[in-house]
Structures are given as structure tokens and as C-alpha cells.
Structure 1
Amino acid sequence: MSGPFGPGVSGTCPCGGGTEGLAYAVCCGPLHAGDRPAGTADELMRSRYTAFVVGDEAYLLRTWHPRTRPERVGLDPQTRWTGLTVLRTERGGPDDVDGVVEFVARWAEPSAGTVGRGELHEVSRFGRWGGRWLYVDGEHG
């Protein structure tokens, strides 16, 4: 992994999931390591956001439905993901087969000596296949 957390990640998980202030090692870390799958669409979306933060392209590809998955994600090492706000979820629970999570992810990127900032607003669709949640696709708003 690359990014601000890198190997041996320590500190608070950037996803803000569950109880605020959970350590990466008990929040998204086990999902990234393959120790356990996401239990809900929301948990998968949060772990995918964290994968962007830590630069874990392999996890992003592994949790993307094969029908819509690109060959590579192409993470930009200059982009720093700076915050996540989940706006709503529909379905996506442990007993559901599909779900929707709407979120805003904030980013910052240095450019010619200044720092550009922006937001990615997405309504993501998720599905369960073989007992695992996978990202299907998303619409940007």
C-alpha cells in the first residue's frame, strides 16, 4: 500500500464507519487484508473510500463487480482524500441482495504550488454475489 497510511497503518480509520474513532486496524484494515468481507453495502463503500485514501488499488478491483470493473483504477498519488460524508443508504443490509449508498468524498490535490480542492458526489449501486458485497457502478452528481 502507498498513501498517507501505508504499510503498518495506524491511527483512526478515515471511513468514519461504525463508532467514530475506530482504529484502521479494527475497521477497514481487516477488509483490505481479506480477513473478513464487508457485512453491508455501507461498510463496503466506506472500505472502498479508505482504499482510495491508503492507495489500495488491489482491494478496489477485488470488490468491483467483474461486469463493470475496469482493468485498473489508476490512482493518482497526488490526490489526498480528506473526508467522507454518507448522505443516505437504501437496502444494503446483511439480508439484502442489493443496495444504494449516496455519499460525498472530499479531496485535495496540489497543482502548480497551490492546493485544489473538490468533492465527488456519487450514488453507488452494490450487489451481493456469492455472499460478498461488490460495487456495481455509480452516478456522479
Structure 2
Amino acid sequence: MSEHDDRCPCGSGETYGECCGRYLAAGRRAPTAEALMRSRYTGFATRATHYLLATWHPSTRPEVLELDDAMVWHRLDVVRTDAGGPWDDAGTVEFVAHYRLDDGTVIGQRGRLHETSRFVREDGRWLYVDGGIGL
């Protein structure tokens, strides 16, 4: 089985190619804020910094993005969405992303990131603006 046929890291139940791979590898635009958020989670899980930067709004995007190699992302739970549909220009997605630390000294320590992310749609393209960290 190829990576394209593996289950998508975002937890949708679809294969990577049918789900987030359409956006990360094939260059299609995510149709909703939630689809973009899921694909960005997959970008973190697969360390696709080019995609993460490309889908980050220019007003808040860092010049360089360095990911922590010790963080292994293993599950995404979408809690709630507000707007962010195909006809909206803005939306929010609340989610919990679960990770495990494996840096050679601390192995298996688990954590979670609870965030409510803000998205805007400009020129038909959804972009991540920022997020508020929760619990």
C-alpha cells in the first residue's frame, strides 16, 4: 500500500489521497475552514512546512516555521465549527490535537493542544489567521 492509500492523519476515515492529500500533494483548495484546518493538522503531522506557510494568512504568517521533531501528532478531534462554509468569508474551528513526545530522553509523554482557530477566505481561498489556545 502506498502512502497515498494510507488513512489520512486528520482522522476523517478517508485515505490520504481522498482527503488531505488533495490539498497538500495535489494543490487543490480546501472548500471549507474545517477542511483547511484538517489539512493543516495533517501538514503538522507530516511536517509539510511549505503547505503550512502557504495556507497561513500573510498578516500573521511567520517568515520561518520550525517544527519540533519530538512531537508526534497522533489524533485530531474537531469539537465545533462556526461558519467557515463554502459561502462564508470567515469561520472558526475548535479542535483538540493529541501528540506524544519522543525526543530520545522523554519517550511517550502525551499532551494535547486545544485551540480555536480563526480562518478567512480571500479570493476563494481559505487561510489560517490565528488561534486561541484553550485547555
TM-score by length of 1: 0.88
Q: State the one-letter code of the partner of 2:14.
A: L
Q: Distance in 1 between matches of 2:4 and 2:48?
A: 12
Q: State the one-letter code of the partner of 2:125.
A: R
1:14 alignment partner in structure 2? 9
1:3 alignment partner in structure 2? none
Q: Structure 1: where are the runs of 5+ without partners?
A: 1-6
1:109 alignment partner, SS class: strand
**Aligned with 1:44 (options 36, 39, 51):** 36
Runs of 4+ in 1 over 3 A off after TM superposition: 7-10
Q: Is residue 137 of structure 1 aligned with residue 130 of structure 2?
A: yes
Q: Distance in 1 between matches of 2:15 and 2:25?
A: 15
TM-score by length of 2: 0.92
1:4 alignment partner in structure 2? none
Q: Distance in 2 between matches of 1:113 and 1:128?
A: 40
Q: State the one-letter code of the partner of 1:11.
A: D
Tell me how large the CA RMSD over aligned residues is. Answer: 1.5
Q: How many residues align?
A: 132
Q: Structure 2: where are the runs of 5+ without partners?
A: none
Q: Is residue 127 of structure 1 aligned with residue 113 of structure 2?
A: no
State the percentage of identical aligned residues: 52
| Structure 1 residue 35, shift from structure 2 partner | 3.0
